[in-house]
Structure 1
Amino acid sequence: MLSDNNRDKLERIVHEYQFEHAMEYFKESVRKGIRLSKKEIETYNEINPSRIGGDPDLPFNEEWPLNSDGMPMTFLAQLRLSDLIPHDVTTLLPTKGMLYFFVGVDEPAYGIEHKVIYLSEDKLQEAKRYPSPEVTSLEDKFTGYRVSARPTMELPNYGYVDYEIVEDDEHDYDQYEDLCFELIGKNSSDLAVIFGYPSTQHGDCEYEAALHLLTGQQYNYSMDSALRQITDHFKGDSDRAKQEVQDILLLLALDSDQDVGFCWWDAGELQFYIRKEDLLAGNFANTYCSLYSS
């Protein structure tokens, strides 16, 4: 449910762009997200800020994650939860500590080896800059940036939007996209999003992630087939299966960015997913990673 301030903002911008015909659809489909933007190049003068790229800050006894071949994974981001909580209107994230994101080789684009680590606040007291191994799975060196967070309202993107509702003789997708950008205050420093809509062409990312997380099976690009397999997993409980798909959350989407050095295939997006049940339990051992590229 939208707060009064968010509802007023949504109605104002929708009116400004003359999309009143889709107002109820927008209110039903909007997701409350957190956008992360670049602030400044990391100087490492401070321990444990929210950072994307560069090196992580880790306790001395924390082991660097390895992929299945025994090679060190590549560090992507550390997000201090105290930086995110003021903007987490979903109240789903842990309130303290740090989330770390590592990735293995980004091929193929589904079921990518990765590691999400959660460390409690007390463990961060022992953290210090932990230089990345000389060679990691991606063989890339990323420039570290401090990041800032802000709350956003995220409307369905081109993979998820119902075109029959938003488009008519007077409104096209480009105008709708302008409305979306205005709503989130999109700028060139934006680097990542939490709890929004993942970039995709088919609007089926939650089916792919749910299928893998619940059954370990590979998605065959059929939402109906995935739902049948998940229903079988729950012994025919189709309502439970549908709810599981709905409860898949975008834990983090990292955009390609020239400054940091991220380039996911053809300037795409790297995406991490988690079940709502696991997030509420603080279980980050059960996550899914995939990649979207046009």
Structure 2
Amino acid sequence: MLSESNQQKLKQAINKHQFGHAEAYLHKRARQGVRLSKHALEDYKHAGGSRIGGDPDLTASIEWPLDSSGMPMTFLAQLHLQEVALHDEALLLPADGMLYFFVGVDEPAYHIEHKVLYLPEEELHQVKRRCSPEVTSLEEVFIGYQAAARATIELPNFGYADEEQIEDEEHDYEQYEELCFELAATNSNDLACMFGYPATQHGDCEVEASLRLLTGKPYNYSVKAAMEEITAHVNGDSDKAEQEVRDTLLLLALDSDREVGFLWWDAGELQFYIRKEDLLAGNFARTYCSLYSS
């Protein structure tokens, strides 16, 4: 549900781009997101800021996460929530502290080994740069960039948009994308998105993540079969099953970026998901990671 100010902002953009025929649909499907963009190359002069790539700032007590083979995972990002949560208009993130994202081998593209860590704000004064191990799961060296956050309104992308709702005789998908880009203030420095729509062709990412997080079962690329499994898990309540999928959130999507060194298969996107109840409780021990590539 958009805030009142964002409802007005969306309405103005819809009028500007003449998408009044899809107004009800877009208000229902719009999400309040946070985007992260490259601000500057990281110089590591100050510990504790939001960063994508490079090395993390950790306390001495934090052990570097290992994958199932005992190999150190690859560090991806740290988000200082005092900086990021200011732009979280959906009020989902903790107000402070640090989130860390690590990943193991990114094959296959589903149920990827990973770790999301949370460090309380009161411990941040103890953090300092810790260089990544010489060899990590991905065997990649990523360039660190300071990350700047901004609030966005995220509309359904290609995999999620209902073309019958957004297109008419005078408006095609390219014009719809212009509306999307304006509301997200999309730019070439964008690296990541939180709480928006994941990149996909089929619009089933949250179904896959929800199935695994709730039941531990793998997704067989049948939405129908997955929803039957989720419905059985919630004692046959189909409405609750659908709500569980809606409450499976895109915690972070990391785009491919050659300057950082991220290249998820064929220039794809690495995605982390979390259940809404866990996020609101500050529980990052139960998350799901997958990868989309065209």
What is the one-letter code of the residue matched to 1:6?
Answer: N
The whole-number CA distance in structure 1 between the counterparts of 2:270 and 2:186 is 19
Please list, as runs of the form range in 1=range in 2, the aligned pairs for 1:271-286 lying within 5 A after superposition: 271-286=271-286
Distance 2:282 2:183 in 1: 30
Matched, 1:241 2:267: no
Shift of 1:90: 1.1
- For 1:289, give the aligned amino acid: C
Count of paired positions: 294
Taking the TM superposition and a 5 Å limit, the aligned residue runs for 1:1-294 are 1-294=1-294
Structure 1: 5+ residue runs without aligned partners?
A: none
The two structures have a TM-score, normalised by structure 2, of 0.98
In 2, the alpha carbon distance for the partners of 1:140 and 1:38 equals 19
CA shift, 1:204, in A, is: 0.5
* Residue 140 of structure 1: how far off its partner (Å): 0.3
Cα displacement string for residues 110-167 of structure 1 (whole angstroms, at most 9, x for unaligned residues): 0000000001012212111010000000000000000110000000000000100111
Distance in 1 of aligned mates of 2:214 and 2:5: 37
Give the C-alpha shift of residue 240 in structure 1: 2.0
Q: Provide structure 2 residue ranges, at least 5 long, that are not aligned to the other structure.
A: none
1:195 deviates by 0.3
CA distance in 2, matches of 1:164, 1:96: 42
> How far does residue 234 in structure 1 lie from its aligned partner after superposition?
2.0
Q: Which amino acid aligns with 1:272?
A: F
Structural RMSD (CA): 0.9
Distance 1:210 1:201 in 2: 18
Local SS of the residue matching 2:35: strand
Task: State the alpha-carbon separation in 1 of the partners of residues 38 and 132 from structure 2.
Answer: 21
**What is the CA deviation profile of residues 213-266 of structure 1, one whole-angstrom value per residue up to 9, with x for unaligned ones?**
011111011111101111112222222211111100000000000110100000
Q: Distance in 2 between matches of 1:269 and 1:247?
A: 21
Give the secondary structure class of the aligned counterpart of 1:22: helix
| Aligned partner of residue 229 in structure 1, secondary structure | helix
| Paired residue type of 1:54 | G
Q: Please report the TM-score for the alignment, with normalisation by the length of structure 1.
A: 0.98
Stretch deviating more after TM superposition (280-289 or 10-19): 10-19
